[in-house]
Amino acid sequence: TSLSLSQFLRRQQVLQLYRKILRAIREVPAEADRRYLKDWAREEFRRNKDATEEDAIRMMITQGNMQLRELERTLRLAKS
């Protein structure tokens, strides 16, 4: 099954978000928290991998980006 251009671009967005989240999680100081967050992220993406509705996918990407920003903000505060 080949993807349409918009599906391909959306898939790239999702993969990019996943990589950014995992990179941010690497900065979490506590090993147990890192493991928990990594498992949580992996499970969230796995649970939604079969989503096809464009609006739902866009909304999930937006939510994921907000959660990423919140994690980055928390990490910055912890370092200061």
47-70 pLDDT per residue, tens: 999 999 999 999 999 999 999 999
- Report which DSSP code applies to 50: T
Distance CA 34, CA 11 (A): 25
pTM greater than the 0.85 cutoff = yes
CB 27 within 8 A of CB 68: no
pLDDT band at 1 (very low <50, low <70, confident <90, very high): confident
Domain that holds residue 17: 5-79
